[in-house]
Structure 1
Amino acid sequence: MIDWTQGDNWQDPGTWTVSSDYGGWFHVYAFTMTLGMILAVGYSAFKFWKKGIPVTQLAWGVIAIIPMSLFGASIFGKLNADGPGVNANGVGFWGLFAFWHAGMAIHGGVYVGTLTGLIVYGIMGRYTKVSLWTYMDCIIPNILLGQGIGRWGNFFNHEVMGPPVGSVSSNPLSWLPHYIQVNTQWRYTGATGQIINGINLQNGQVYQMAPIFFYESIALFIVWGLITFVLPNIGKWIGSKPWKKLPKEYHFNAGQGWLNFIMPWKYSAKQLVKHPERNQSYFVIWNQAFYKKLETDQKPTYEKEIAKINHKSASLTSRRYHSGRTLIKANNPQKYWITKVGAEAGGYFLAWNIIRFALELQRPYDHLFIMYEKTLSLVIIMVTAGLGLLMMILSQNVIAWFFRQPNKLYEKEYFEASHLDKAYFYYLRKWLNLNKTSQPKSRKKQTNSSKQEQIKQRKKISKEDKAAQKLAKMQKKKTND
């Protein structure tokens, strides 16, 4: 941990070659933020399409999430930025919302945006039959793309710098590209003799500052790649595979898969119908064997198991646990080791906050997540990382076992519910009724008993009427005779 305050002790050395504004109208910071958002939304749209979710559902979320994220980042970034009780550039309450000006705290944007997204997609998922975890995996990890690009806006603003690492003459970062070195060098204008990062500072000397923005940007892109392409596929790489489980149905051909990828025009849909062996590539097999396969043939077995569970299990918790395990098993009968939804979203909070924690140790007190509160900032960052790890664990086990439902989209679509699938909800309502207060129960019993008495009376009157009519007919017939 390096304790230091930037303040007004660091100035432009006169050698910078990049600027925050060009032509008085092109603001690089705003441009990089916009570009980052476009890229993040674009890849989220691709993941929606890949999951078979209408992209319009993403659009509704974006309309709510992006503005709230910008406001959250701006408020957290400008609040108390110039000292306790003094906002950035002395702005008032409404000035805190000016996200087009420098001074953004990404944690504020992530927290506010995530809360907004949970509300929007929590409500939407009840009607679309798409799990909230699925929405989160499709959107949240791609924030890393926006963050990675947005950090270059900080570079043009000459922000997000670490402590001095040496003088220009003895530059330990000479391995960096020249334009990054030149634009991360500052002239020290404070008192001579101050020591930061083990360097005895001299007034008027130019020092090389640690380019934290660059470290974070590269790390964010790497982490995004790991979360997006490695984490969902770990189980498929090291676990059982469809062409080994069902060799009569699937024949994996690695060479043919590469040819399909490199020359898609050669292997058209018509050709693949004529030559189905050309279609046995890695992604096609996994889609056919698991992701796009609706396990309707497992429904009879599943329904029998659910009936047994509802008959044998005494407690609600036990029924939920066993029903969830049975539902997962029915939709993955081959027991493929698949990463369940929720892991990617949790991985984002875990990995990003670990990166941020390492870099926050070097940031000045007046550029922290929570200004002038380094310990509090570090604690909140690590708590967020811990929550991400907990999210990854729970989404793969506890939450999957207790809260999954038929006819919803998770890592794949689960088959449609039948009357037996809904038995769990019948027992849930029955359990809730048993736990109601005694007064409503007694009223309900009274109402039921009164209805039964009325039905008996009606039946009795009906029988008497029929007997009277029959007697009248007999007397009339006797008179006629």
Structure 2
Amino acid sequence: MINRVAFDLFGIEIYWYALIIVFGIVVAMWLSTRESIRVNLKPDDVSDFMLVGLPVAFIGARLYYVLFNIGPYLEEPMQIFNLRSGGLAIYGGLIAGGIWLYFFCQRNFISPWTFLDIATPNILLAQGIGRWGNFMNHEAYGGKTTRAFLESLYLPNFIIENMNIDGAYRQPTFLYESLWNFLGFIVLILLRKQKNLFKQGEIAIAYVIWYSFGRFWIEGMRTDSLYLVGDIRVSQVLSLVLFFGGWAVLIWRRKTNPNLKFYNRSYGPNESLI
């Protein structure tokens, strides 16, 4: 099994999880900054947002996890601050980041829809990268399976071996979600390049629909879900709300505001998709 510790720094263990998450964030920021220039936003808008948005998102991700897994933290409240023990929920981070985005855009006279349109495909990419942090951390896996099944997926041996957890092979749900997110990123940037396809805000809505659809099915395979009541998983409920809500908002905006501007970019010569 792969060691989740990348290296020691002055006696402090640095986990692969943290390094991979940071890498995903950096890549998403770089791509979002490039895209902001193409839609006539200031490049500094992305970094200015992230200066506060990143810690806010981490706090939201932690609070979401704690609230839906409150029992252990009532017994030991100080463990709430022990982030090294794990316990971040992406939906909580997205909700908290979205709240900060609203205030940030209001203060800087930026359309929240435009900001979301430049960022959400890259967020999907960062989420796909981040799932490999779960792989290194030996978490976010599914139920028991067999080595033969994993080999039938043509997975490299290092993944198969790392899916041998607590004496049994596990479904690599981290991988399923990572691949789903990577595919979504490719689809969105390919479609985003087409002129007069997406209207303002619809790339962000497409992200919500895409991610929530995949997350619903993959969440049902995981063994570490947060539960609302009984066997009802929090992330599956939220995924359903977001999936159908995304379609409802998309249809409602098209019907009530037919004059919405299209999301169009300006390219330099020989410029790549991203």
The bucket for the TM-score relative to the shorter chain is 0.7 to 0.9
Q: Residues 87 and 372 (structure 1 numbering): CA distance in 2 closer, same or farther, change over 3 Å?
A: farther
Match of 1:345 in 2: 204
Does residue 86 (structure 1) correspond to residue 68 (structure 2)? The answer is no
Q: Residues 183 and 101 (structure 1 numbering): CA distance in 2 closer, same or farther, change over 3 Å?
A: same
Match of 1:375 in 2: 232
Aligned counterparts of 1:80 and 1:134: Cα–Cα separation in 2: 32
Aligned counterparts of 2:155 and 2:61: Cα–Cα separation in 1: 30
Counterpart of 1:58 (choices 30, 46, 56) is 46
Q: Residues 172 and 411 (structure 1 numbering): CA distance in 2 closer, same or farther, change over 3 Å?
A: closer
Percent identity between matched residues is 24
Counterpart of 1:185 (choices 148, 157, 164) is 164
- Which of structures 1 and 2 has the bigger CA Rg? 1
Partner of 1:208, secondary structure, is strand
Q: Residues 35 and 86 (structure 1 numbering): CA distance in 2 closer, same or farther, change over 3 Å?
A: same
Aligned length: 259
* 8 Å CA contact retained: 1:343, 1:391: no
Matches within 5 A, 1:257-336: none
Instruction: For 1:172, give the aligned amino acid.
Output: F
* 8 Å CA contact retained: 1:348, 1:388: no
Match of 1:30 in 2: 18
Aligned counterparts of 2:149 and 2:118: Cα–Cα separation in 1: 41
Counterpart of 2:97 (choices 110, 113, 138) is 113
Counterpart of 1:393 (choices 246, 251, 267) is 251
Name structure 1 gaps, 5 residues minimum: 1-15, 188-205, 237-336, 414-481
Counterpart of 1:132 (choices 93, 104, 112) is 112
Aligned counterparts of 1:27 and 1:119: Cα–Cα separation in 2: 33
Name structure 2 gaps, 5 residues minimum: 266-274
Instruction: For 1:87, give the aligned amino acid.
Output: Y
Q: Residues 19 and 100 (structure 1 numbering): CA distance in 2 closer, same or farther, change over 3 Å?
A: closer
Does residue 155 (structure 1) correspond to residue 135 (structure 2)? The answer is yes
* 8 Å CA contact retained: 1:70, 1:99: no
Structure 1 residue 362, shift from structure 2 partner: 1.2
Aligned-pair Cα RMSD in Å: 2.5
Aligned counterparts of 2:206 and 2:116: Cα–Cα separation in 1: 11
Instruction: For 1:341, give the aligned amino acid.
Output: Q
Match of 2:270 in 1: none
Instruction: For 1:85, give the aligned amino acid.
Output: G
* 8 Å CA contact retained: 2:205, 2:246: yes
Q: TM-score, normalised by structure 2?
A: 0.84
Counterpart of 2:150 (choices 173, 184, 201) is 173
* 8 Å CA contact retained: 2:197, 2:262: no
Instruction: For 2:155, give the aligned amino acid.
Output: L
Instruction: For 1:70, give the aligned amino acid.
Output: F
Aligned counterparts of 1:29 and 1:106: Cα–Cα separation in 2: 14
Instruction: For 2:156, give the aligned amino acid.
Output: P
Q: Residues 232 and 350 (structure 1 numbering): CA distance in 2 closer, same or farther, change over 3 Å?
A: farther
* 8 Å CA contact retained: 1:184, 1:211: yes
Q: Which has the higher contact order (CA 8 A, sep 6+)?
A: 2
* 8 Å CA contact retained: 2:6, 2:14: yes
Q: Residues 232 and 38 (structure 1 numbering): CA distance in 2 closer, same or farther, change over 3 Å?
A: same
Instruction: For 2:251, give the aligned amino acid.
Output: I
Q: TM-score, normalised by structure 1?
A: 0.50
Q: Residues 221 and 69 (structure 1 numbering): CA distance in 2 closer, same or farther, change over 3 Å?
A: same
Match of 1:411 in 2: 263
Does residue 69 (structure 1) correspond to residue 54 (structure 2)? The answer is no
Matches within 5 A, 1:215-254: 215-231=176-192, 233=194, 236=195
Structure 1 residue 54, shift from structure 2 partner: 0.8
Structure 1 residue 353, shift from structure 2 partner: 0.8
